[in-house]
Amino acid sequence: MRRSFTLGHAVRVPGIGLHAGRHATAVLHPAEAGHGIVFYRNDVDAFIPALSEEARSFDHATTLGVHGPDVGTVEHLLSALVGTGIDDLLVEIDGPELPILDGSAAPWLEAFHRAGLVRQSGAPEPFVPAAPVAVTGPHGKRIEIRPARDLRVSYTIDFPHPAIGRQSITLVITPESYARHIAPARTFGFLAEYEALRAHGLARGARPDNCIVVGEDRVENGDLRFADEFVRHKALDLLGDLALVGRPVLGHIVAHRGGHALHTALAHRLREEMLGEGTASEAIAGASLPG
């Protein structure tokens, strides 16, 4: 039987936003069973639920908030919540972006352990799709989920870069496997794209201590934590975007060269199936194409 948790007490997590480059402080508050994951922007007094219909931007991160203030770079925290089994949490944040910390989900796990986990009664029933569901994008991008009794991720990436190339991972997600094999994997960026990203208001908080810096033919800022750290981080992002279904999911997810837009499109398809609303909306389907 799946266990469901919240935190034992509030915990404060400060840091720098990866894209805006602004200092940000997140405070993770325990929440009652059935509350779900909700972000609260205390600077503008706005609540933003972590649901697929709130996803509005996928440019190198996932941003939530369609009808008002938004909150960005939510995927690493959401991933840590999925990996740990935390279903109910209020995330208070004092600006438009969560802190990037070291670029992985491991510091979020450390925050959870500082606060302690409290088991919730009445754990939400995991959602299992009735049949395979697939979403495709340009350049051969594809993601599919197949019904299964556990949550399993098979992810493949293929970058024409000597430091990355083709990498694959398959893993059954449990709190233990997530903490060991997925959470420490850091986000990455290409040095050749840095100035262009900054010109578009992105990567302004990127530093050698919060991301993997990929140069012309090698990693520029130290050793990797895993030989295949790049694909592990893609799996980390996928699990964070899967949180937007709004309920735990069981299934075997097979992803090839995905990204936030494709991950979120799949989450929206699953959420619509769960709610009995039919096929994905045009807005989400359209948003999946560029990413």
133-288: which CATH architecture? 2-Layer Sandwich (3.30)
What is the per-residue DSSP string for 82-96?
HHHTB--EEEEESSS
Query: What class, spelled out in words, does domain 5-119 have in CATH?
Result: alpha beta
Taking only the tens of pLDDT, the chain with its 291 residues reads 788 999 999 999 999 999 889 999 999 999 999 999 999 999 999 999 999 999 987 878 999 999 889 999 999 999 999 999 999 999 999 999 999 999 999 999 999 999 999 999 888 999 999 999 999 998 889 999 999 999 999 999 999 999 999 999 999 999 999 999 999 999 999 999 988 888 888 889 999 999 999 999 999 999 999 999 999 999 999 999 999 999 999 999 999 999 999 999 999 999 999 999 543 333 333 332 222
d(CA 225, CA 138): 30
Residue 159's alpha-carbon distances to 142, 167, 202, in angstroms, are 15, 9, 21
d(CA 110, CA 13): 10
Residue type, 25: T
Beta strand spans in the chain (E): 5-7, 11-16, 23-30, 37-41, 46-49, 55-57, 63-64, 71-72, 89-93, 117-119, 133-136, 142-146, 151-159, 165-172, 188-190, 212-214, 251-256
pLDDT of residue 58: 81
Catalytic residue numbers? 260
pLDDT of residue 179: 98
Q: What are the residue ranges spanned by the domains of the chain? A: 5-119, 133-288
53: helix, strand or coil: helix
Cβ atoms of residues 41 and 31 within 8 Å: no
Two tokens, residue 274 = 């769960």
58 CB neighbour count, 10 Å cutoff: 21
pTM as predicted: 0.93
